[in-house]
Amino acid sequence: MTSPQPVQSAAQVQAKPIQHTRLSALEIVTRIVLIMFGAVLAGVALEIFLIPNNIIDGGITGISIMTAHLTKWPLGVFLFLFNLPFLIIGYKSIGKTFALSTLLGVITLSVTTSLLHHVEPFTDETLLATVFGGILLGIGVGIVIRTGGTTDGTETVAIMVSKKTPFSVGQMVMFINLFILGSAGLVYGWDNAMFSLIAYFIAFKVMDLTIEGFDESKSIWVISEHYREIGEAIVSRLGRGVTYLNGEGGYSGDTKQVIFTVVTRMEEAKLKSIVTEMDENAFLAVGNIHDVRGGRFKKKDIH
């Protein structure tokens, strides 16, 4: 008679350790090229558009620009030195890949600004420099961040401070940058400080678009008594899959059927019209999704 096998606990019954997929040589080269390209764009924005017109960026870059202006030392030196402590912190708290990607971005940005420091500015019109410098800066930094690195240690500072305060990381980044950009008024004058705020806002928005892309997806939640008809219409007329979820009204306690689906931004208006057509009293909630993977979801054009 065989002895019964001991029952294993949940802690004992575990899957094999996840093997992290190593990047291929092509993926590594692509990442290096993209980080360097983005950092070069950011350097061009700083030295060809913004700095010659006394306009600064936020974060460590802004502090480096003002320090270089006051000391007459090369900007690249301060970009590297001021970011170095945050590279070490990033290595310990986030990981080696992030730290190496950031190191590459910072070095490339530092070298680019040094090489372009004596190049004639593209324009002397402050407003034009603000707009086009902000756009180029946003694209460049956005490419670096999307590839897995960064060119500025402000986010690391914000993460550290936010752990000891009631403010979020985003709020801390905004506060730090407003303080830095406001300080530009004491160095360059208040007109240039206001232009710096405009350039920062433009760069922030363009960076956001570069990171998230223009094909942002939408998550859709619909609650209706006619959920089956609406779901079938979404499948047949939009070609999108739907998921039916069981819900319960928090106030009434009634059982609810919830439709969940994901569509592109271009399909949002058409989906809303389908829901309204089927049930004008239906509850509909729309949320932004910056990344969709897996399943059968594919970006496509509306025909």
DSSP annotation string for the chain: -PPPPPPPPTTTS-PPPP-PPPPPHHHHHHHHHHHHHHHHHHHHIIIIIIGGGT---SHHHHHHHHHHHHH---HHHHHHHHHHHHHHHHHHHT-HHHHHHHHHHHHHHHHHHHHHTTSPPS---HHHHHHHHHHHHHHHHHHHHHHT--S-SHHHHHHHHHTTSSS-HHHHHHHHHHHHHHHHHHHH-HHHHHHHHHHHHHHHHHHHHHHH-S--EEEEEEE-TTHHHHHHHIIIII----EEEEEE-TTT--EEEEEEEEEEGGGHHHHHHHHHHH-TT-EEEEEEES---STT-------
Tens of pLDDT along the chain (303 residues) come to 444 444 443 334 344 444 445 667 888 888 899 999 999 999 999 999 998 888 888 888 888 888 888 888 888 888 989 888 888 877 776 667 778 888 898 899 999 998 988 888 888 888 999 999 999 998 998 898 888 778 887 766 665 665 677 765 556 677 777 888 877 777 778 888 888 888 888 888 888 778 766 556 788 999 988 889 999 988 988 888 888 888 877 777 778 889 999 887 767 888 888 898 888 888 999 887 766 666 555 555 444
Q: Which domains are assigned to the chain? A: 25-212 (no CATH), 217-289 (3.30.70.120)
